[in-house]
A and B are shown apart, each in its own frame.
Chain A
Amino acid sequence: AQSVAQPEDQVNVAEGNPLTVKCTYSVSGNPYLFWYVQYPNRGLQFLLKYITGDNLVKGSYGFEAEFNKSQTSFHLKKPSALVSDSALYFCAVRDLISGNTPLVFGKGTRLSVIA
């Protein structure tokens, strides 16, 4: 079965500092990994995804994520945080081998960027 772990419920970072939101996954086959962001009273917005290829994936709003197969991780990063980045971030996985189409989400990490 697929699973995603986001070990931090809350991440606090000062504006202008780099940020990292952690995610580890478990799948039986090859992973198809996503990051979504959720602002209050809004749905999930797609940020970026990894299928194959370069381990460093670039996405929207200056975010990027690094796929690490040996550590089964897909951490979200941004070189310089903005106050407007404050939101709830979800990591999700699909298992390509099984063909299972639904996404399996982590519990989410709340990012707070302090001015």
Chain B
Amino acid sequence: GAGVSQSPRYKVAKRGQDVALRCDPISGHVSLFWYQQALGQGPEFLTYFQNEAQLDKSGLPSDRFFAERPEGSVSTLKIQRTQQEDSAVYLCASSLSHRGGGALGTQYFGPGTRLTVL
């Protein structure tokens, strides 16, 4: 079946522009996560949804970052007034369940969106 998809794959923005990054999770997956991966680093957690509810947004670096998942499927990560430090790969992951144990908790990742802010 289809995996997690993300669009666009690449985005170049001028400093100050707003951007929107889209994530289509695996069909039926309850949980959806956004991570930010800076160059040469591991992914870092941004925010988490269970269905349409945003249960954890503790990783969002500033109030310029906003995420939504209005119908419990597709999610959008929006960054307002982009800054150069926002340049990174933004990864989306989904899992069948939020619960820790078993296969349900395994997160499957999309290819990411590489954002470059000039």
Chain A residues proximal to chain B, CB less than 8 Å = 4, 32, 34, 36, 41-46, 49, 51-52, 90, 92, 94, 96, 99, 101-108
* Inter-subunit contact B102/A51 (CB<8 Å): yes
* Inter-subunit contact A90/B43 (CB<8 Å): yes
* Inter-subunit contact A43/B91 (CB<8 Å): yes
Distance (whole angstroms) from the CB of A25 to the closest CB of chain B = 13
* Inter-subunit contact A106/B105 (CB<8 Å): no
Kindly state whether residue B41 has any CB partner on chain A within 8 Å. Answer: yes
Residues in chain B near residue A46, CB distance under 8 A: 106-109
Contact bitstring B53-67, A, C-beta under 8 A = 1, else 0: 001100100000000
Kindly state whether residue B31 has any CB partner on chain A within 8 Å. Answer: yes
Residues in chain B near residue A44, CB distance under 8 A: 43, 91, 93, 109
* Inter-subunit contact A105/B105 (CB<8 Å): no
The distance in angstroms between the C-alpha atoms of A32 and B33, with both chains bound, is 17
The distance in angstroms between the C-alpha atoms of A21 and B70, with both chains bound, is 40
Work out how many contacts link A and B, with CB atoms closer than 8 A: 68
Tally of B interface residues using CB under 8 Å: 29
Assess A102 versus B109: contact at CB under 8 Å? Given A96-B101, A107-B41, A108-B42. no
* Inter-subunit contact B98/A105 (CB<8 Å): no
Among B44, B45, B112, the residue within 8 A (CB) of A43 is B112
Name B2-53 residues within 8 Å CB distance of A: 4, 6, 31, 33, 35, 40-45, 48
Distance (whole angstroms) from the CB of B2 to the closest CB of chain A = 13
* Inter-subunit contact A101/B110 (CB<8 Å): no
Residues in chain A near residue B55, CB distance under 8 A: 101
* Inter-subunit contact A107/B45 (CB<8 Å): no
Residues in chain A near residue B42, CB distance under 8 A: 4, 90, 92, 105-108
The distance in angstroms between the C-alpha atoms of A110 and B57, with both chains bound, is 30
